[in-house]
Amino acid sequence: MKNNGVSEQPDVKNPPISFLKPLSRIGITSRRSLIYFGIGAIVLILFATVPFYLDVDNNYLGYYLFIVFDYIIIAQGWNLIAGYAGQISMGGNAFFGLGAYTTGIIWLRNITHTGYYFDPLVMLLSGVLPIVLAIIIGIPLLSRLRGDYFAFGTLGAGQILTVFAIKFRHITGGADGLHLPASVYTSMEPYYWVSLLMATFATAFVYFIMRSRLGLALKAIREDETSAASHGVHVLRYKIIAFAGSAFLAGLAGNLFAYYLFLVNPAAEMNLNWIIYPILMVVLGGTGTIFGPVLGAFFVGALFAYGSIYLKSTHPILTGALIILVMKFMPGGLMGLKDQIFARRKQT
């Protein structure tokens, strides 16, 4: 990675350790950040070894972890545009759906003549097409709309796309959708590996974007758009890049979900839940933090899993109540809670 000219502010309380100098390029500048990185790496290794001592095929945990990793991907996408760039997008379902539809259409129409099932090319295309869509709808929406209006604009665009998905029956299969050949399914293991890899990639993607010049520009836009523009930040261009990045991750998540469900239709993939879930996870975890969405995804995933087992159909009520309670009592999310605790410790 090239050094992008962002000079690191020396951390007074946590002085840099000399042998870490080469590592400072990826953000390890103090003892505390080294510890965080270490914990992250250990947790990642633990997750990577799960299939060796746990049968992910016959254990509910395998399914749970797959869906959590999928949530992390889409949540990091929303985190990038809303948490870091400050533009609330409510069109996540459109990109998620487009990712899934891209996978389904390429597979069923035999377009790329490759393996299709966990094929890197198909997965990449499922991420790239949402980028194209994000640029097409992002230019008019982001250049004209701000704040709430941008949220409603993306919501409207998502709804229009859902209508297209239902109406262009000869391509998308209408309301019934596309049925993918489920006979290729052999084991849950590839799902686990790929989703873990993608979730790690999504987190790293957002992390490195935020450490770059681009990330600095996005934060500046979030804090004060006018001021950012007057300091020479090309506001529209950076907003579109963030929007496209978010669409890319949503498309990847949609691709994985299509592989999982073997079904692509508006009810499954363009559902309004795909707008609400990422928002819920990011906000619960902590908006604009890198580990917030990860924590939020694990928490919400566990809530849904236990809720659907023990509470049956009443569990979405609990979800709604939880959103209200979290927002009321800890608007900073789980990461905000951590900050509060540390702040209190320092005071005493």
Partner 1 sequence: MSEWAIISQLTINSILFGSMYGIAAIGLSLIFGTMRIIFLAQGTVIIFFAYICYWLLTLLGIDPYLSILLVVPLAAAIGVGFYYGIFKEAAVLEDRNISLLIAVGLMYLMENLMMVVWKPDPRAVVTAYTSWVFRPFGTTIQFTRLMALVLAIAAAIVVFIFLKRTLMGTAVRAATEDPVSTKLMGINPNLVNAIAFAIGVGLAGTAGVGVATVYSFDPVFGFMFTLKALISLALGGIGNVWGALMGGIVLGFIESFSSYYIGGGWVDAISFGIFLLVISFMPQGLFGARGSMKKHKVKR
Residues forming the site for partner 1 (CB under 8 A): 82, 88, 140-141, 144-145, 147-149, 151-153, 155-157, 159-160, 162-164, 166-167, 272, 276, 279, 283, 287, 313-314, 316-317, 319-324, 327-329, 331
Three-state SS for 65?
Answer: helix
State both tokens at 165: 């998905």
Closest CB to partner 1 among residues 15, 316: 316
Q: Please report how close the Cβ of residue 203 comes to partner 1 at its closest, in angstroms.
A: 22
Which strand (E) or helix (H) includes residue 291? none
C-beta closer to partner 1: residue 175 or 184: 175
258 within 8 A of 100, measured Cβ to Cβ? yes
Query: Considering beta carbons, is residue 247 or 284 the nearer one to partner 1?
Result: 284
Nearest to 98 by CA among 66, 135, 142: 135
Q: Which is nearer to partner 1, 81 or 194 (CB)?
A: 81
DSSP conformational letter for 309:
I
Closest distance between partner 1 and the C-beta of residue 321, in Å?
Answer: 6
* 3-state per-residue secondary structure call for 319-348: HHHHHHHHHHHCCCHHHHHHHHHHHHHHHC
Report the nearest approach of partner 1 to the CB of residue 146 (Å): 10
**b/e map of 162-198 (b: 16 or more CB within 10 Å)?**
beebbeeeeebbeeebbebeeeeeeebeebbbbbbeb
Q: For residue 264, report the phi and psi dihedrals to the nearest 5 degrees.
A: -125, 110
Q: Minimum distance between the CB of residue 309 and partner 1, rounded to whole angstroms?
A: 17
Shortest CB 269 distance to partner 1, Å: 17
- Comparison of 33 and 287: residue with beta carbon closer to partner 1: 287
- Element of type H or E holding 283: helix 273-285
Nearer to partner 1, 151 or 256 (CB): 151
The position carrying tokens 């953000």 is 27
Closer residue to partner 1 (CB): 21 or 167: 167
- We find the least distance from the C-beta atom of residue 220 to partner 1, in angstroms, to be 18
Smallest gap from residue 284 Cβ to partner 1 (A): 10
Nearest to 75 by CA among 168, 182, 203: 203
